[in-house]
Structure 1
Amino acid sequence: MRILVIMGSPRKSNTYRAARKIEEYMQSMDNVEFEYLMLKDANLLQCRGCYVCLAKGEEYCPCKDEAPLIEQKMHAADGVIFASPVYGMNISALMKTFVDRFSYIFHRPRFLDKKALLLSTTGAVGLKEVLDYLKLVAGIWGFEVSQSIGLITPPGMISKKQEQENNRKLEKAALEYYNSFQKKRRSPGLKDVLIFRAQKASFGKPGYTGSADYAYWKEKGWLNPEAKYYVDVPVNPVYNAIGWISEQMIRRKMEKEIAELRE
């Protein structure tokens, strides 16, 4: 089993040590190989917001950096750990640059066979905001988020009680993350279905969005009327019905807007 840790901390401090603890616990269960991608050392340029990757394809991006290599690393891993400390009630700037640089994956999900673990540390507050955001990103990119873990790591000396509590959380998360690789993908929740249906409506015709999005979705078979989700898993019939209605509403709205632009 291969795990890629994408480290959004500029230091090898609390978040890094927490990831190493997870590595230690998982390696006690099996032969698990960990690789650490330190974003502070990666050649990853800031997104220019030029829209080229969305309209034409990521291969046309003017930023010539290590993004293709990093995506390849994510594909090669069985699972990915997204790790970021809380900075200003959000992810670190390094992690945000990483997310922005791969914005095209929001339109063209591709990690549907991968499991993700989300990890964050903070001195006091902000864990929910960071973990919720990372869950949204990883989920739309296609990952099945198996675990989310947030640790309180106050500056200075950490109490013995807090350290024990953190280690307990890390051990539990490592065990559950490891076990998740033995299970089939879960059925999507209502929010997941709504996101799929909204994208299906948005990318359903070349005129609605960039040609790269339409071509990708068509190739995947996601534009077929019978497609209920990105992968072949059971979908709650009620969620599917709500999603279908939502898709039709979005499609009609977009058709109306395009017709008005052509007048």
Structure 2
Amino acid sequence: MIQQFIENFKSHTEIDFEYVFLRDYNLLNCTGCKLCFNKGEEYCPLKDDRDLLLEKINNSDGIIFATPNYAFHVTALMKNFLDRIAFIFHRPRFFGKAFTAIVIQGIYGGASIVKYLESTGEKLGFNVAKGCCLTSLEPRTAQEQKKITQKLNKTYFRFYNKLMFTKLPNPSFAKLLIFRIANTSMLIIQNEKFEDYCYFKEKDWFESDYYYNVWLGPIKKAIRLFF
């Protein structure tokens, strides 16, 4: 499915693309010690390929998370990867990078996985394009393959637009509210030993309307007055 997705790029533009299979990387299981949250990710006691994978994301313009439906969720490998980078939910950083999700399944349940991954992408800071869930049993009929191709093409164009349109999106009321709540929580803590507080302070988010510079109308700006 991903190979078919990438063929769309090859027909429209030149692109450097890399397949990243989590099974090929050493990712130890998160133990929930919370050192990455409280002190910083560099204090994580697990020494594995987490930072190598983060470097790949940092060096990219766009990311596609693809997973089969395993017991109505992402694979254990992907869930563990998300657990290992969960500190970024507190300290988002992938602003301006395009993101989409593709889920493959045999019967049903994948739509909720797509929504989960889209929500995850937003919380990490990505500019999220709506993903898709593809139902595929073997052998596939020509009609089923046609339906899959149509879904993939729609997802491709949504992702392509996010990738090419580099202007940072204007946040919704919900996103602004989440930002203000996080900001207020950090101000209440005011603990220089707490990594989240230091990160917000370093980014000047206590003085900002949002995570990045963006024009807000008077109604959206009013959210700041209440938090």
TM over 0.5: yes
Shift in alpha-carbon separation, 1:239–1:174, aligned structure 2, 3 A: same
| 1:197 counterpart = 2:198 | no
Structure 1 unaligned residues grouped into runs of 5+:
1-17, 249-263
1:230 aligns with 2:216: no
Distance in 1, matches of 2:4 and 2:13, equals: 15
For structure 1, which segment, 235-244 or 91-100, has the greater mean C-alpha deviation from structure 2 after superposition?
Answer: 235-244
User: Contact (CA 8 Å) 1:203, 1:209: kept in 2 or not?
Assistant: no
Q: Secondary structure at the match of 1:120?
A: strand
TM-score, length-normalised on structure 1?
Answer: 0.80
Displacement of 1:207 in angstroms is 4.5
Tell me the residue number matched to 1:122: 105
Q: CA deviation at 1:233?
A: 2.0
Question: Does 2:37 correspond to 1:54?
Answer: yes
> Structure 2: where are the runs of 5+ without partners?
none
Deviation of the 1:210 alpha carbon? 5.9
Shift of 1:37: 1.0
Whether 2:70 is the aligned partner of 1:87: answer yes
Identity %: 35
Equivalent residues, number? 226
CA distance in 1, matches of 2:196, 2:115: 26
1:150-198 deviation per Cα after TM superposition (whole angstroms, max 9, x unaligned):
11113x2122111101111212222332232232222112221122112
Give secondary structure in 1 for the equivalent of 2:112: helix
In the alignment, the residues of structure 2 paired with residue 198 and residue 22 of structure 1 have an alpha-carbon distance, to the nearest angstrom, of: 38
Aligned residue for 1:257?
none
1:139 correspondence with 2:122? yes
For residue 234 of structure 1, report the CA deviation from its aligned partner: 2.8
- In the alignment, which residue of structure 1 is the partner of 2:140? 158
Corresponding residue for residue 222 of structure 2: 241
Output the TM-score relative to the length of structure 2: 0.92
2:81 maps to 1:98: yes
CA displacement 1:34-85 (0-9 Å, x = unmatched): 1111011211111110010011000000000001111111000010111112
Query: How much does 1:206 deviate?
Result: 4.2
Rounded Cα–Cα distance in structure 2 between residues aligned with 1:244 and 1:129: 35
Higher normalized strand content (fraction of residues): 1
Could you tell me how far apart the structure 1 residues matched to 2:98 and 2:222 are? 27
Which SS does the other structure have where 2:17 is aligned?
strand
